Chain A
Amino acid sequence: GAVVSQHPSRVICKSGTSVKIECRSLDFQATTMFWYRQFPKKSLMLMATSNEGSKATYEQGVEKDKFLINHASLTLSTLTVTSAHPEDSSFYICSARGDRALLYGYTFGSGTRLTVV
Chain B
Amino acid sequence: GENVEQHPSTLSVQEGDSAVIKCTYSDSASNYFPWYKQELGKRPQLIIDIRSNVGEKKDQRIAVTLNKTAKHFSLHITETQPEDSAVYFCAATISGGYQKVTFGTGTKLQVIP
Tell whether, in the assembled complex, residue A44 and residue B34 are in contact, meaning their CB atoms are under 8 Å apart: no
- For B106, list chain A residues within 8 Å (CB): 41-43
CA A32 to CA B81, docked complex, whole Å: 36
Near B by CB (< 8 A), chain A positions 84-107 give 91, 93, 95, 101-102, 104-107
Given contacts A44-B89, A105-B34, are A110 and B98 in contact (CB under 8 A)? Answer: no
**Number of chain B residues whose Cβ lies closer than 8 Å to a Cβ of chain A:** 24
**Number of chain A residues whose Cβ lies closer than 8 Å to a Cβ of chain B:** 24
Number of A-B pairs whose CB atoms are under 8 Å?
52
A75 within 8 A of B: no
Near A by CB (< 8 A), chain B positions 15-61 give 32, 34, 36, 41-46, 49
CA A112 to CA B39, docked complex, whole Å: 15
Tell whether, in the assembled complex, residue A44 and residue B44 are in contact, meaning their CB atoms are under 8 Å apart: yes
B95 within 8 A of A: yes
B103 within 8 A of A: yes
- For A7, list chain B residues within 8 Å (CB): none
- For A108, list chain B residues within 8 Å (CB): 36, 43-45
Tell whether, in the assembled complex, residue B34 and residue A46 are in contact, meaning their CB atoms are under 8 Å apart: no
Tell whether, in the assembled complex, residue A109 and residue B43 are in contact, meaning their CB atoms are under 8 Å apart: yes
Minimum C-beta distance from A47 to chain B (A): 11
| Identity of the chain A residue whose Cβ is nearest the Cβ of B6 in the assembled complex | A43
Tell whether, in the assembled complex, residue B98 and residue A104 are in contact, meaning their CB atoms are under 8 Å apart: no
Tell whether, in the assembled complex, residue B46 and residue A104 are in contact, meaning their CB atoms are under 8 Å apart: yes
Q: Which 4 pairs from chain A and chain B are nearest by CB?
A: A108-B43, A105-B34, A105-B46, A43-B105
Known A-B contacts: A93-B44, A110-B42, A111-B41. Give 14 more (CB < 8 A).
A34-B101, A43-B106, A46-B101, A49-B98, A49-B100, A93-B43, A102-B95, A106-B34, A106-B46, A106-B91, A106-B101, A109-B43, A111-B42, A111-B43
